[in-house]
């Protein structure tokens, strides 16, 4: 197969987008596949990013726009990779682009189809903190700003009744309820996997109350609660109320013992939450219950030191897995072994659990499709050639970002650019070999 200068990038979060842009800037054709109907990844769930507390959406939106407007990048949203065959330099990839029932070309993102829809469902992007319609964009500011129809809940598509209220509301003829999945086959020379990571399933820790006690929050739930484009428009109120918390406990290392490693970023986002809370609720009391403090590097240490004792009270426990959250008389009760071997207790209005980072839920399936190995924790395993390569256990397939292990935004971007550079190097070497073969055969 002739070399075509094409690369497949799986995952359109910050790592995938940055790598895609770097490759496209080197005149490579990039096929960027994202399973969600929007690009940007989990970074755009954050209101601000540490350590500089930059506006996350402000930082990422220009990158999203650049990706969508780049003529060398073909973006497949709401899509999955179904098969990968071949070898380094000549992979054949089958992509399934799911029917979204709304034209990416005709829709102008006016949102007139939302209100007429009679079906409300939980908004997965907003961590189920609010509802959305069966025709939706996940969040304000989504890119592309084109809705998708949930075929499971749409009354017409699931066969419940002949409903076409959204079609009638659209004056741009953008909705087609007979839309079908599209299967596309592409040939690429190399593949980059940048699918990110998930957070630990906190329901596996019933002693911490998540999912049972309404005032116990996961880190992503709290991120969306604080976000200006989130379910409360940035107002810090307890779930289902208009009451702001006055005493908040942040429990570190939730799930660390279960996964068997330190996720390295949890402490920093916990201290970011302290900054959020202190800014929005200056009179609130904030407690951090911790076993270790992981703040690597000068900027992270400075961020932690800048909080000071006025912002939060640090409560050491030698056994973080013995922390318990229960319902008290008028608030939540947090109990923990303290440094003296006694049982410490706190009455608080809100608990935030700093959950471990774990492999993305579909990563095992993707590894099987790609024919690559995972490590003992379920992240993508890198080649053990001792060169610092970001190549996986299969030649021509690379990994970047938290798909290969927990890491922060900055490290993910650095890895993405490094992976893109390594891909360009092997493509250049391959092109040189092909030219030499052509010259010898002439």
Whether the pLDDT of residue 16 is over 50: the answer is: yes
Same domain, 373 and 343: no
3-state secondary structure of 424: helix
> Same domain for 249 and 208?
yes
Please state the rounded mean pLDDT for residues 216-223.
Answer: 97
314 and 405 assigned to the same domain: no
209: left (phi over 0), alpha (psi -120 to 50) or beta: left
Q: Which residue has the higher pLDDT, 311 or 181?
A: 181
Which of 323, 356, 389 is at the close of a domain? 356
- Residue 59: DSSP 8-state: H
Helix (H, G, I), strand (E, B) or coil at 290: strand
The pLDDT-based confidence of 384 (bands split at 50, 70, 90) is confident
Per the CB < 8 A criterion, the answer to whether 250 and 289 are in contact is yes
Q: Express each pLDDT in 327-366 by its tens digit.
A: 988 889 999 999 998 999 999 999 999 999 999 999 999 9
Pair 368, 340 in one domain: no
Q: Which residues pair with 32 in a beta bridge?
A: 9, 75
186 and 39, same structural domain?
A: yes
Confidence label for 432 from pLDDT (cuts 50, 70 and 90): low
**pLDDT, mean of residues 387-413:** 94
Residue with tokens 């992979």: 91
Domain co-membership, 249 together with 212: yes
**126 occurs within a structural domain:** no
Q: Do 223 and 305 belong together in one domain?
A: yes
For residues 231-259, give the mean pLDDT. Answer: 95
Does 131 reside within a domain? Answer: no
- CA nearest to 38, candidates 70, 68, 8: 68
Do the domain assignments include residue 116?
A: no
Q: Assign residue 268 the CATH number of its domain.
A: 3.50.50.60
Say what the pLDDT of residue 387 is.
67
Is residue 222 located within the same domain as residue 307? yes
Is 387 found in the same domain as 331?
no
What's residue 259's pLDDT?
Answer: 97
More confident residue, 307 or 372: 372
189 with 226, same domain: the answer is no
314 part of a folded domain: yes
Burial (CB < 10 A; 0-12, 13-18, 19+), residue 72, is middle
Check whether 441 has a pLDDT greater than 70: no
Strand 357-359 to strand 54-55: parallel, antiparallel, or no bridges (unpaired)?
unpaired
Q: What is the extent of the structural domain holding 263? A: 200-356
Alpha helices in 330-408 (DSSP H): 363-370
> What pLDDT score was predicted for residue 440?
47
- Dump pLDDT digits (tens) for 250-307: 999 999 999 999 999 999 999 999 999 999 999 999 999 999 999 888 888 888 888 8
Q: What is the pLDDT of residues 164-175, one digit of tens each?
A: 999 999 999 999
| Domain termination residue (choose one: 341, 356, 371) | 356
State the average pLDDT over residues 130-148. 96
Does one domain contain both 74 and 188? yes
Q: pLDDT-derived band of residue 439, with 50, 70 and 90 as boundaries? A: very low
Cβ atoms of residues 293 and 305 within 8 Å? no
Is 2's pLDDT higher than 70? Answer: no
Which of 102-111, 162-171, 384-393 has the weakest average pLDDT? 384-393
Gyration radius (Cα) of the chain, Å = 24
Total structural domains within the chain: 2
Identify the weakest region by mean pLDDT among 159-173, 197-211, 423-437.
423-437
pLDDT given at position 409? 93
In whole angstroms, give the CA distance from residue 317 to residue 326: 18
Q: Is residue 123 part of a domain?
A: no
Q: Give Cβ neighbours of residue 331 (< 8 Å, ≥ 6 apart).
A: 215, 247, 347, 348, 349
Q: For all residues of the chain together, what is the average pLDDT?
A: 93
Pairwise CA distance, residues 259 & 311, whole Å:
30
Provide the percentage of residues in the chain whose pLDDT is more than 70: 96
Last residue of one domain, picked from the residues 321, 356, 391 = 356
Does one domain contain both 311 and 376? no
| 236, part of any domain | yes
Distance CA 133, CA 164 (A): 14
Residue 70 lies in a domain: yes
2-11, 216-225, 265-274: the lowest-pLDDT one: 2-11
Q: Number of helices and strands (H, E) in the chain?
A: 9, 24
Q: Is residue 341 part of a domain?
A: yes
Report the alpha-carbon distance of residue 160 to residue 246 in Å, rounded: 46
> DSSP code of 233?
T
Mean pLDDT calculated for residue range 312-319? 95
């Amino acid at each position: 197969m002739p070399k075509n200068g094409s690369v497949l990038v799986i995952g359109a979060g910050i790592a995938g987008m940055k790598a895609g842009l770097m490759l496209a800037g080197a005149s490579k054709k990039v096929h960027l596949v994202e399973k969600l109907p929007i690009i940007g990844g989990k970074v755009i769930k954050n209101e601000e990013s540490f350590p500089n507390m930059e506006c996350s959406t402000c930082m990422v939106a220009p990158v999203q726009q650049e990706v969508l407007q780049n003529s060398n990048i073909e973006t497949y949203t709401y899509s999955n990779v179904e098969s990968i065959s071949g070898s380094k330099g000549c992979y054949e990839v089958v992509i399934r682009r799911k029917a979204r029932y709304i034209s990416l070309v005709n829709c102008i993102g006016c949102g007139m189809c939302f209100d007429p829809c009679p079906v409300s469902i939980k908004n997965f992007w907003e961590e189920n903190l609010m509802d959305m319609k069966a025709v939706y964009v996940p969040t304000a500011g989504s890119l592309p700003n084109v809705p998708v129809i949930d075929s499971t809940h749409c009354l017409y598509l699931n066969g419940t009744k002949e409903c076409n209220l959204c079609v009638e509301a659209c004056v741009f003829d953008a909705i087609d309820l007979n839309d079908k999945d599209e299967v596309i086959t592409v040939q690429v020379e190399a593949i980059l996997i940048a699918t990110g990571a998930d957070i630990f399933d906190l329901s596996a820790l019933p002693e911490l109350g998540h999912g049972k006690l309404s005032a116990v929050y996961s880190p992503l739930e709290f991120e969306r609660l604080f976000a200006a484009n989130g379910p409360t428009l940035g107002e810090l109120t307890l779930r289902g109320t208009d009451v702001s918390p006055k005493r908040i406990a942040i429990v570190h290392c939730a799930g660390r013992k279960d996964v068997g490693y330190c996720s390295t970023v949890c402490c920093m986002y916990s201290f970011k939450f302290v900054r959020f809370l202190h800014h929005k609720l200056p009179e609130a009391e904030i407690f951090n219950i911790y076993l270790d403090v992981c703040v690597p590097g000068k900027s992270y240490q400075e961020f932690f030191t800048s909080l000071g004792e006025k912002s939060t009270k640090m409560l050491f426990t030698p056994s973080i897995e013995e922390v318990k959250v229960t319902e008290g008389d008028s608030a939540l009760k947090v109990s923990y072994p303290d440094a003296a071997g006694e049982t410490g207790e706190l009455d608080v209005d809100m608990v935030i659990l700093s959950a471990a980072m774990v492999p993305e839920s579909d990563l095992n399936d993707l590894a099987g499709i790609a024919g690559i190995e995972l490590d003992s924790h379920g992240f993508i395993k890198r080649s053990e050639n001792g060169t610092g390569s970001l190549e996986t256990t299969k030649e021509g397939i690379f990994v970047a970002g938290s798909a290969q292990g927990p890491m922060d935004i900055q490290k993910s971007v650095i890895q993405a650019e490094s992976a893109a550079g390594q891909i360009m190097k092997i493509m250049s070497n391959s092109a040189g070999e092909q030219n030499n073969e052509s010259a010898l055969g002439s």
